[in-house]
């Protein structure tokens, strides 16, 4: 259970800013930050959704729905991540360059709106994972209110549930590029293949899974509790994933792990 002191600290920090641009991905973390900010400073907050090449369409739809439900002001901006060669070559610092591009886009909007502070949903738990994008954010002066208030991921979910956010327990999502091994070039074809493959899993009833793309091999990761069930449904999964363009379909017996592509580093 989170401490009330942390929530009050978060609120005081947000109020002190008066005006705020929140980078909104549609995930639980940024949704909570956005809702708390909107409840406190109303028109002083603006949400920005970056619709990049690596954002699945269902995530964009989900984010827009949340904005409409709460009547928040929002800007949706396109970002052509595949035009950045440092991103496309997919080295281990890929996320650093992507984050730099995102912040440049956010800063342009903030300047037009006369807003000084750009905030994101980074929390204390994120430092336990390999995230080169954090360095880019810190270099560019992006504010991390959850970090400053000492809030962890589990506490964010509890706060989101109490705040009435319906998807407080929504599985964490990440950009589609995280499904491609470092060193393998990121292309539009690969991103769309991954998006379609994961949409198939969701349609069949498996949420929170991943399809990691190793050339034409799809490595499925689902929570361990779903492994037996996915084997039972393997015929339909194989058929539909081959229609997407995968040549071979494999199941990772370790189950879903956030950032499993980082295990080779």
Identify the pLDDT of residue 206.
93
Domain ranges (residues) in the chain? 4-162, 176-264
Confidence check: pLDDT of 59 > 90 = yes
Q: Which two tokens stand for residue 16?
A: 């002190």
Which helix or strand (DSSP H or E) is residue 130 part of? none
Q: How far is CA 38 from the centre of its chain?
A: 20
The string of pLDDT tens digits covering residues 133-159 is: 999 999 999 999 999 999 999 999 999
Q: For 4-162, which CATH superfamily applies?
A: HUPs (3.40.50.620)
Cα–Cα distance measured from residue 208 to residue 93, given in angstroms and rounded to the nearest whole number: 25
Identify the pLDDT of residue 251.
97
Confidence check: pLDDT of 264 > 90 = no
Confidence check: pLDDT of 56 > 80 = yes
Q: Are 24 and 48 in contact (CB under 8 A)?
A: yes
Confidence check: pLDDT of 1 > 80 = no
CATH for 176-264 is 3.30.300
Confidence check: pLDDT of 48 > 80 = yes
The string of pLDDT tens digits covering residues 81-96 is: 999 999 999 999 999 9
145 closest CA partner among 11, 50, 260: 11
The string of pLDDT tens digits covering residues 154-174 is: 999 999 999 999 999 998 889
């Amino acid at each position: 259970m989170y401490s009330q002191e942390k929530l009050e600290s978060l609120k005081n920090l947000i109020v002190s800013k008066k005006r705020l641009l929140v980078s909104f991905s549609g995930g639980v973390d940024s949704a909570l930050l956005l809702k708390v900010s909107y409840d406190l400073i109303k028109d002083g907050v603006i949400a920005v959704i970056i619709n990049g090449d690596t954002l699945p369409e269902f995530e964009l739809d989900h984010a827009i729905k949340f904005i409409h439900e709460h009547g928040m002001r929002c800007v949706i901006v396109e970002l052509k991540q595949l035009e950045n060669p440092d991103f496309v070559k997919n080295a281990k610092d890929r996320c650093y360059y992507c984050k730099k591009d995102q912040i440049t886009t956010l800063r342009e909007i903030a300047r037009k709106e006369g807003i000084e502070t750009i905030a994101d949903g980074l929390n204390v738990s994120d430092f336990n994972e390999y995230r080169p994008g954090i360095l880019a954010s810190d270099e560019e002066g992006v504010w991390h209110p959850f970090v400053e208030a000492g809030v962890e991921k589990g506490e964010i979910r509890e706060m989101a549930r109490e705040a009435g956010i319906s998807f407080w327990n929504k599985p964490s999502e990440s950009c589609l590029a995280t499904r491609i091994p470092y060193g393998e070039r990121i292309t539009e074809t690969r991103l769309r293949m991954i998006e379609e493959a994961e949409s198939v899993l969701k349609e069949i009833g498996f949420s929170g899974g991943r399809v990691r793309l190793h050339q034409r091999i799809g490595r499925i990761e689902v929570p361990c509790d779903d492994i037996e069930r996915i084997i039972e449904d393997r015929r339909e999964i194989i058929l539909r994933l081959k229609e997407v363009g995968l040549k071979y379909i494999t199941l990772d017996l370790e189950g879903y792990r956030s950032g499993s592509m980082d295990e080779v580093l």
